[in-house]
Structure 1
Amino acid sequence: MVAVALTAGGLTARLIESPHRFPVPHDGKTYFGVQMDSQFDTVAGYASRLGSTPALYGRYVDFPWDTTEEGAISQEVQELADHHSSLMLTLEPRKDLAAVTPEALTALSRTLTAWNRKGVPVMVRFAHEMNGSWYPWSQQPAAYIEKFRQVAAAVHKAPSSAMLWSPNEGAGYPYEGGPYEASPGSADFQAVDTNHDGKLTSKDDPYAPYWPGDDAVDWVGLTVYHFGKAYPWGENTVPERGKLVAKITGTFKSAYTNDTDVPDFYKEYADGHKMPFAISETGSFYNTSRSDGATELAIKEAWWNQLFDPGLQRRFPRLKMALWFEYSKTENQPGNPVVDWRTTVTPQIRDPFTRAIPDRFIMAPVR
């Protein structure tokens, strides 16, 4: 493979020549992105609050989508083109994996090509957190891999689109009690029972059963959050020192988990498969219904300091993308609290956050 220069959507970066075209930052650089709540926010609005335009905006979409949703995304893509930014498109087969049909995939290729030709590279994250137990596509490794590979083939027909494989970080696996756990005795259960002891526990590999293959994956990533120190989540607590690194490497231990068998995701998949690594979505839990515990600033600042720590880039040189989860939403926790993950809404949080973003985190140029 040959390293070539690419300028796409205003992003100038080193790209490894391949059929799968999404620019990769130079060594020591990482894209800064945002998972934005498009129901309540806009590309320009977020950029105005932040003071610059992120390199990527994330959007979650039911797949296959209908014409109304496709039109809404296309409108946002035009905004991204105007701001010289890019799109992380999280495709969620909320009905079931079988809904991903050849017709839907043909339409996906056609639409991605049109968006790419507007100057907007697209990172496609299909059926994220597939190792969890909370989505209709969860813990179905054979069907998931089949559909991921089909989506990848469609995505790779577009000139500036790539595939991101993105499980949930493995602490707490197999996330017992979720509505979509693999059923004991099923073929899916046998596939995820990686140590073949007849049980699905933290001793089973949370990643390997879901790997779609090097030819279908362009980037690897993880969902990594600070939810708190003890399940069930609810208390506002400051993240433990080194927690972000420990979750990526599988060494995190806390009051609610003593997992010792979680693989080092970065070593196994970023280094092991020589792929760029993304923190696909991240943030720090702040329960708006509680007035006790740590302050919002203390919680969020402790987490973004770990994300922006120069030691993180040295520890993970393949880290090329990180997206903050800019949502305030009701979480499925006891009491259904509204958790505010955002960093740009109030000056008390926004000002220290924007000051903390280091120069090595790449933004798109604002116009």
Structure 2
Amino acid sequence: MMNSGKKMRAFGRMAILAIAIVMLLTVVNDNEVKALNVWGLVKEAQKLEQKKDYAGAIAKYKQAVADFVAKKEYGNTANMYRRIGDNYVLLKRYDDAVSNWDLESSYADKASQTQVSLAAKRKADMLRSTAQLFIETDAASVGGANYHGAKFEPKNGALLGAYAELDPVVHNPANGKPFYTTGFPELTGKKHAAYLLYFTYGKPFSNLKNHISQAAANGTALQLGLQPMKGLAEVKDDAYLRGLAREVGESGIPVFLRFANEMNGDWVPWHGDPKAYIEKFRLVAKVFKEEAPDNVVMVWSPDRLPEHNISDYYPGDAYVDWVGVSLYTIFNPAFDPLKLGEDRSSHVEKFDNIYKMYAARKPIFISEGGISYMYPEKKLDKTDWAVYKTKEFYASLPMLYPKVKGVFWFDSNHDSSNRIKYYMLSANRKLLDAYKTSIANPFYLSAVGAESPVAYKQISGGAVAAGKHKMSAYVKTWSPRLAKVTYEIGGRNVGTAVSLPWTVHIDFTPYKGKKIEVIVKAYDNTNKLVTTRSVYVTVKG
């Protein structure tokens, strides 16, 4: 028989084991309860949504999101922030929607949900309200702040360019009367510094000669889009490539050689092998620098999308003189966060990624682009939308992206994959007038070697000298178009503007030595207040 001491020890061990089991079950049950509680909150929020109690739903989702964050369940966290943002939209609290979609994007990225993250950022950007203030100044005061020292690069200003070969109003390919180098400036009212010409690698040089002679006669440069349509394998250091380089070099005109553009997109035959692409780009750069050292610069020019693989194709600073980008906008309501059939995207901000990646090292070149005046899928006229976006682009570019040194408009209504792109200025009088008004800004240059007499300094969050200034703004809101912007200081209206870029003349002298708050108010075409932004500026003595 077991003695009493042994019985007591055995009983003690059993008691301890029982307590441990009870504690374990309690933890499990607590976790189950918590799990049930958090998903219970989600269900409660969904019921409140059905009752259109969006504020109540937001409160429940916020409780749930705290639990998911604590448990590092980032996918669920992102989902909660998406729902919170969606409910703020229904309450028409768009700034709150934006901040929650930004959090959705951040947590989706932590959960390695890349596409979810990108989609959330796109939604947020479409409804994001911003206001940035700039003053116009003499370009001499800016000096070389925006200058890279590249060949043909203006210190300040952007070379004006176009692709106009397919516009029958400005170019007759049969007899050259008119030729686009004269026809396009007659149409638009301003001489352009350069024209884009596509050239298929392997074709006879004779196809180039007339374009070169016309450019020489009219004092314009060429952007030569050299495209190896049979693939990269045909590009070799041989008699053909060196002969082409000598032909271009002997022309004497400034040539921006854009070799195998949009390589990041799967629609071109030179896509898919970054290593091979870099090898061939470097080869072409080497040959042209040997055979045409004085009048050719190498332009590396991806499309703005997709973004994830752009840097994979970069040949290196030693081989690239300018960085280009294709920049198009076609009306697309599919991503409208408000589901009202609008395109709320910003054309001017679409190449922001490439600018941030390369503008510190190289001058940036909008190598081709435009804003379509038709919604092609529905054959709906979107002229008014395109007019606004065009004016906004050319008005805002010098302020937001001063290291862009060339801008080419794609003047064509061309058919690609049975989807016509409507950019032809001669086919739309309103868009043509918007373009003419926009390029009248002296920032846009008519010749290589010209310099802009004006530049722009951002004063948002910075300083401005006391005195009278010509102030403009980049104002973006959830409304795709604005009609009026007002400025207030100290509760008093100091300026009202009714056209882009919302320019007013303000005397900052009374605020000398102070940090002031400039209240920017934006209104749509029904005179409805769309957004109010505070911008802080220090006025120097």
Query: Structure 2 residue aligned with 1:279, among 366, 369, 373?
Result: 366
Mapped to 2, the partners of 1:340 and 1:346 lie a distance apart of 9
* The 10-residue stretch of structure 1 (287-296 or 350-359) with the greater mean CA deviation from structure 2: 287-296
Contact 1:288 1:337 in 2 (8 A): no
User: Does structure 1 residue 50 correspond to structure 2 residue 217?
Assistant: no
Deviation at 1:149, TM superposition (A): 0.4
Is the partner of 1:364 in helix, strand or coil?
A: coil
- Alpha-carbon deviation of 1:339? 2.3
In 1, distance between residues paired with 2:147 and 2:379? 48
2:347–2:393: 8 Å Cα contact kept in structure 1? Answer: no
User: Does the C-alpha gap of structure 1 residues 348 and 304 become closer, same or farther in structure 2, counting only changes over 3 Å?
Assistant: closer
Matches within 5 A, 1:317-356: 317-332=402-417, 336-356=418-438
Code of the residue aligned with 1:60 in structure 2: it is Y
Shift of 1:344: 3.4
Superposition pairs of residues 68-87 of structure 1, within 5 angstroms: 70-87=205-222
Deviations 1:234-293 (CA, angstroms, capped at 9, x unpaired): xxx875353321x212xxxxxxxxxxxxxx22121121xx21001111111244867764
* Partner Cα distance (2:428, 2:345) in 1: 25
| Counterpart residue number, 1:178 | none
Q: Is the 8 A contact 2:330 2:375 kept in 1?
A: no
**Which secondary structure does the structure 2 equivalent of 1:278 belong to?**
strand
1:203-261 per-position Cα deviation (integer Å, ceiling 9, x unaligned): xx3211101011100001211110232579xxxx875353321x212xxxxxxxxxxxx
Q: State the shift of 1:299 in Å.
A: 3.5
Aligned partner letter, 1:308:
Y
Offset, 1:26: 2.3
Aligned equivalents of 1:222 and 1:162: distance in 2? 15
Higher helix share: 2
TM-align CA RMSD: 2.6
Does 2:199 correspond to 1:114?
no
Counterpart check, 1:307 vs 2:393: yes
Give, in whole Å, the separation in 2 of the partners of 1:276 and 1:87. 17
What does the per-residue CA deviation read over 1:276-332, in whole Å, with 9 as the maximum and x for residues that have no partner?
Answer: 001111111244867764433x233123223212x4223222110010011111122
Partner of 1:64: 202
Deviation at 1:39, TM superposition (A): 8.2
Q: 1:74 to 1:292 in 2, by over 3 A?
A: closer
AA of the residue aligned to 2:302: P
- The answer for the alignment partner of 2:356 in structure 1 is 267
Q: Is the 8 A contact 2:359 2:403 kept in 1?
A: yes
State the TM-score, normalized to the length of structure 2. 0.49
Distance in 2 of aligned mates of 1:17 and 1:352: 32
Which residue identity is paired with 2:399? R
Q: Conserved in 2, the CA contact under 8 Å of 1:49 and 1:345?
A: no
Contact 1:133 1:139 in 2 (8 A): yes
Task: List gaps (5 residues or longer) in structure 1.
Answer: 1-13, 174-201, 250-263
Whether 1:126 and 2:259 are equivalent positions in the alignment is: yes
Q: CA deviation at 1:96?
A: 1.0
2:301 counterpart (166, 181, 186): 166
Q: Unaligned stretches of 5+ in structure 2? A: 1-145, 172-179, 336-340, 449-541
- CA 1:242 to 1:230, structure 2 compared with 1: closer, same or farther past 3 Å? closer
8 Å CA contact 1:169–1:248 kept in 2: the answer is yes
Change (3 A) 1:349 1:153: same
Q: Is the 8 A contact 2:264 2:271 kept in 1?
A: yes
**What's the counterpart of residue 228 of structure 2?**
93
Q: Which one-letter code corresponds to 2:152 in the other structure? A: P
The counterpart of 2:320, out of the listed 217, 221, 224, is: 217
Counterpart of 1:361 in structure 2 is: 444
Separation in 1 of the partners of 2:166 and 2:223?
13
Shift of 1:155: 2.0
Q: 2:438 is matched by which residue type in structure 1? A: A
CA contact (8 A) 1:165 1:217 kept: yes
8 Å Cα contact 2:147/2:363 also seen in 1: no
Would the aligned equivalents of 2:164 and 2:411 in 1 still touch at CA under 8 Å? Answer: yes
In structure 2, distance between residues paired with 1:150 and 1:226: 33
- The answer for the alignment partner of 1:149 in structure 2 is 282
Query: Partner of 1:295 in structure 2?
Result: 382
Q: Distance in 1 between matches of 2:397 and 2:167?
A: 32
Q: Which structure's CA Rg is the greater one? A: 2
Q: Do the aligned partners of residues 115 and 294 (structure 1) sit closer, same or farther apart at CA in structure 2, a change above 3 Å counting?
A: same
More displaced 10-residue stretch of structure 1: 137-146 or 351-360 = 351-360
Change (3 A) 1:217 1:320: same
Amino-acid identity (%): 27
1:36 aligns with 2:164: yes
Aligned length: 284
CA distance in 2, matches of 1:107, 1:138: 26
Residues 238 and 299 of structure 1 are in contact (CA less than 8 Å); yes or no, is this contact kept in structure 2? no
Displacement after TM superposition at 1:153 (Å): 1.0
Alpha-carbon contact 1:285-1:341 (below 8 Å) kept: yes
Cα separation, 1, equivalents of 2:334 and 2:250:
45
The reply on whether 1:23 has 2:112 as its aligned counterpart is: no
CA contact (8 A) 2:331 2:374 kept: no
Secondary structure (helix, strand or coil) at the match of 1:112 reads helix
Structure 1 residues 122 and 304, CA gap change in structure 2 (3 angstroms): same
Q: Distance in 1 between matches of 2:342 and 2:200?
A: 34
Say if 1:290 and 1:16 are closer, same or farther in 2 by CA, change over 3 A: closer
